[in-house]
């Protein structure tokens, strides 16, 4: 039996969890590609320089210092994609909890935006959110919405039920 509710599929529980995790990671990668494109478009229009915040966060956590500009750019991209991929696991958790579709996408976007608004100030990589200007919050929300919508569409597509004929 194939149906939309996680707990009623014929697959063993461990397989459902593994499937949800794999789908979340794939959705996270593709969502990260989408947010990267969104950021490139925005930077071209606004003249904003690329952020090195992902690398700065990794440096704080892992206590290292890149030795060249190439290393800085490469490590920044690696951290950006690793973080975005990992954030796809939020969709996995929602699926395991039986939450999917548009509601899961909204929760995912909200979670990603909230993490940015909480973690960056806590790590002293940004001022407290009450000091952010409206435009900064709006741009972040637009980019995180692009990420969440793309990741959500892909996750839901991978989770669809396909009836097989034998």
In tens, the pLDDT along 73-130 reads 899 999 999 999 999 999 999 999 999 999 999 999 999 999 999 999 999 999 999 9
3-state secondary structure of 159: coil
Q: How far apart are CA 152 and CA 120, in angstroms?
A: 24
Instruction: Give the range of the structural domain holding residue 107, as residue numbers without chain letter.
Output: 6-51+86-158
pLDDT band for position 1 (50/70/90)?
A: very low
Q: How far apart are CA 108 and CA 91, in angstroms?
A: 6
pLDDT at 13: 83
Q: Does the residue 105 lie in any domain? A: yes
Q: How far apart are CA 129 and CA 115, in angstroms?
A: 11
Q: Does the residue 67 lie in any domain? A: no
- Name the domain count of the chain: 1
pLDDT band for position 165 (50/70/90)?
A: low
Find all residues with CB under 8 Å of 63, minimum gap 6, and list them. Answer: none
Q: Does the residue 64 lie in any domain? A: no
pLDDT at 7: 47
Tokens for 20?
């949800």
Q: Does the residue 94 lie in any domain? A: yes
pLDDT at 88: 98
Q: Do 30 and 38 touch, CB atoms closer than 8 A?
A: no
pLDDT band for position 41 (50/70/90)?
A: very high
pLDDT band for position 166 (50/70/90)?
A: low
Q: Does the residue 60 lie in any domain? A: no
Mean residue pLDDT of the chain comes to 91
Q: Does the residue 112 lie in any domain? A: yes
Q: Residue range 118-145: average pLDDT?
A: 94
Q: How far apart are CA 9 and CA 125, in angstroms?
A: 44
pLDDT, tens digit (0-9, with 9 covering 90-100), for 16-28: 899 999 999 999 9
Distance of CA 23 to the CA centre of its chain: 13
pLDDT, tens digit (0-9, with 9 covering 90-100), for 25-38: 999 999 999 999 99
pTM exceeds cut of 0.95: no
Q: Does the residue 58 lie in any domain? A: no
Q: Does the residue 147 lie in any domain? A: yes
Q: How far apart are CA 68 and CA 151, in angstroms?
A: 33
- Kindly provide the residue ranges of all beta strands, DSSP E only, lying in the chain, ordered along the sequence: none
pLDDT at 68: 87
């Amino acid at each position: 039996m194939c149906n939309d509710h996680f707990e009623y599929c014929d697959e063993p529980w461990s397989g459902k969890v593994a499937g949800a995790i794999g789908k979340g990671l794939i959705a996270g990668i593709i969502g990260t590609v989408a947010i990267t494109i969104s950021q490139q478009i925005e930077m071209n229009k606004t003249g904003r320089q690329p952020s090195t915040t992902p690398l700065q966060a990794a440096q704080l956590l892992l206590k290292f210092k890149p030795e060249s500009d190439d290393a800085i750019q490469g490590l920044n991209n690696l951290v950006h994609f690793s973080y975005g991929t990992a954030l796809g696991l939020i969709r996995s958790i929602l699926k395991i909890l039986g939450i999917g579709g548009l509601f899961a996408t909204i929760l995912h976007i909200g979670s990603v935006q909230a993490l940015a608004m909480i973690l960056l100030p806590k790590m002293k990589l940004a001022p407290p959110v009450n000091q952010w200007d409206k435009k900064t919050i709006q741009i972040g929300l637009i980019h995180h919405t692009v990420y969440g919508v793309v990741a959500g569409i892909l996750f839901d597509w991978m989770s669809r039920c396909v009836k097989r004929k034998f």
